[in-house]
């Protein structure tokens, strides 16, 4: 069980759909642990030490945070059907476009039109997290959000207009998954959202081609089972390091504290221990994350 891919996520999560699609393209089996959409998330926090984003990948007692790091780890472990064949700079550079330019107007429109169906407290929580969105102006800005989505859809449609199957050629890459997930969100969380892709035939065919890969072979697992797997897995020993906090640059409130086990140009790894998990290693991407002093 220590090699089981365990994804802590919730089904409506567009960011989790990125990794679910990776499982489909690579043909991987995985276990699904459902996480609440809104805080509190006691089992996830027990595992990560404070990181609350979705999704989180657990493999034994190793915990991987952020989709950027998760795809890198899956590429390392499962190199067949490579998804970074054009290189990390191209793929991760375009991830900033999809995460920071395409996703926000889609998310804003989804929260505006779907607020009544959201769990209690979710919209308020999201308003504190997405500080670059003015939640008081969603009604006034709805047409702007639609225009932005349509404009980005046209970019994707134009990139595909020469007959290529995927954005960088004949095989899917991480950039395809990054471009796919906002349109997946629009399709699933905005009433008549699919209409924003109408008439963009290259985009529609590309979207259907990616969706046809599915999401791999999924089985369900409880959070209790996942924590027990972490607790029963022995990690290799490491030299003692200093006690620090690691957090996304824009969200220090989600800091995780622990012993600094390693730092490279790619990853930051903390070792931490709790009764419910035993000793675990929490992995973060180096880009976009900061190491700071642990709270006194």
The reported pLDDT for the residue numbered 1 is 57
Tokens 């709790």, located at residue: 274
Q: Which helix (H) or strand (E) holds 6?
A: strand 6-9
Interval 42-50 mean pLDDT: 95
pLDDT at 202 over 90: yes
Tell me how far apart the alpha carbons of residues 282 and 212 are, in angstroms, rounded to a whole number.
33
Confidence of residue 42 (pLDDT cuts 50, 70, 90): very high
**Higher confidence at residue 1 or residue 219?**
219
Confidence of residue 136 (pLDDT cuts 50, 70, 90): confident
Tally the domains of the chain: 2
**Residue 1 belongs to a domain:** no
Confidence of residue 283 (pLDDT cuts 50, 70, 90): very high
Q: List the structure tokens of 214.
A: 């599915």
For 24, list phi and psi in degrees, rounded to 5. Answer: -65, -45
Residues 223 and 279 occupy one common structural domain: yes
What length is written for the chain?
Answer: 296
**Residue 64 belongs to a domain:** yes
The reported pLDDT for the residue numbered 254 is 87
pLDDT in tens, 207-224: 999 999 999 999 999 999
CB of 46 within 8 A of CB of 277? yes
Confidence of residue 292 (pLDDT cuts 50, 70, 90): very high
Contacts of 11 (CB under 8 A, 6+ apart): 34
Domain-terminating residue out of 167, 194, 210: 210
State how far the alpha carbon of 82 is from the alpha carbons of 58, 79, 175, in Å: 21, 5, 12
The reported pLDDT for the residue numbered 256 is 97
pLDDT in tens, 11-32: 999 999 999 999 999 999 999 9
Contacts 24+ apart (CB under 8 A), 160-163: 160/202, 160/203, 160/205, 160/206, 161/202
Full residue range of the structural domain in which residue 25 is found: 6-80+218-293
Interval 254-281 mean pLDDT: 96
Residues 76 and 93 occupy one common structural domain: no
User: What rounded mean pLDDT belongs to the chain?
Assistant: 94
Confidence of residue 230 (pLDDT cuts 50, 70, 90): very high
Interval 173-181 mean pLDDT: 98
Tell me how far apart the alpha carbons of residues 259 and 239 are, in angstroms, rounded to a whole number.
10
pLDDT at 71 over 80: yes
What secondary structure does DSSP assign to 65-125, as a single string? ESHHHHHHHHHHH--SS-S-TT-HHHHHHHHHHIIIIIHHHHHHHHHHHSGGGSPTTHHHH
Residues 26 and 124 occupy one common structural domain: no
Domain-terminating residue out of 185, 210, 235: 210
Residues 139 and 185 occupy one common structural domain: yes
Q: Among 207, 187, 206, which Cα is nearest to 196's?
A: 187
Sign of torsion, CA 283 286 288 294? positive
Residues 252 and 284 occupy one common structural domain: yes
Q: Is 15 exposed, middle or buried (0-12, 13-18, 19+ CB in 10 A)?
A: middle
**Residue 188 belongs to a domain:** yes
The reported pLDDT for the residue numbered 190 is 86
3-state helix, strand, coil in the chain (%, to 5): 45, 20, 35
Residues 165 and 253 occupy one common structural domain: no
Q: List the structure tokens of 174.
A: 């991480």
Q: Among 33, 73, 74, 72, which Cα is nearest to 54's?
A: 33
Interval 259-266 mean pLDDT: 97
């Amino acid at each position: 069980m220590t090699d089981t891919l365990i994804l802590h996520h919730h089904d409506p999560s567009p960011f989790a759909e990125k990794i679910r699609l990776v499982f489909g393209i690579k043909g991987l089996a995985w276990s699904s642990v459902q996480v609440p959409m809104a805080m509190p998330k006691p089992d996830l926090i027990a595992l990560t030490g404070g990181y609350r984003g979705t999704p989180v990948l657990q493999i034994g007692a190793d915990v991987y945070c952020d989709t950027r790091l998760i795809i890198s780890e899956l590429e390392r472990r499962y190199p067949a059907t490579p998804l970074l064949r054009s290189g990390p700079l191209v793929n991760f550079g375009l991830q900033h476009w999809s995460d920071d330019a395409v996703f926000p107007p889609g998310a804003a429109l989804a929260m505006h039109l779907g607020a009544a169906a959201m769990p209690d407290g979710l919209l308020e929580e999201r308003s504190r997290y997405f500080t670059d969105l003015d939640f008081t102006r969603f009604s006034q800005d709805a047409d702007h959000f639609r225009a932005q989505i349509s404009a980005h859809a046209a970019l994707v449609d134009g990139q595909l207009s020469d007959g290529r199957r995927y954005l960088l050629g004949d095989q899917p890459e991480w950039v395809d998954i990054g471009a796919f997930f906002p349109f997946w969100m629009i399709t699933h969380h905005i009433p008549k959202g699919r209409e924003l892709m109408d008439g963009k035939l290259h985009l529609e065919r590309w979207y259907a081609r990616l969706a046809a890969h599915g999401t791999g072979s999924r089985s369900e697992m409880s959070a209790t089972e996942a924590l027990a797997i972490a607790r029963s897995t022995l990690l290799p020993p490491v030299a003692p390091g200093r006690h620090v906090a690691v957090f996304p640059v824009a969200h220090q409130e989600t800091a995780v504290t622990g012993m600094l086990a390693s730092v490279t140009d790619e990853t930051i790894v903390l070792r931490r221990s709790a009764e419910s998990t035993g000793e675990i290693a929490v992995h973060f991407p180096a880009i976009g994350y900061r190491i700071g002093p642990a709270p006194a």
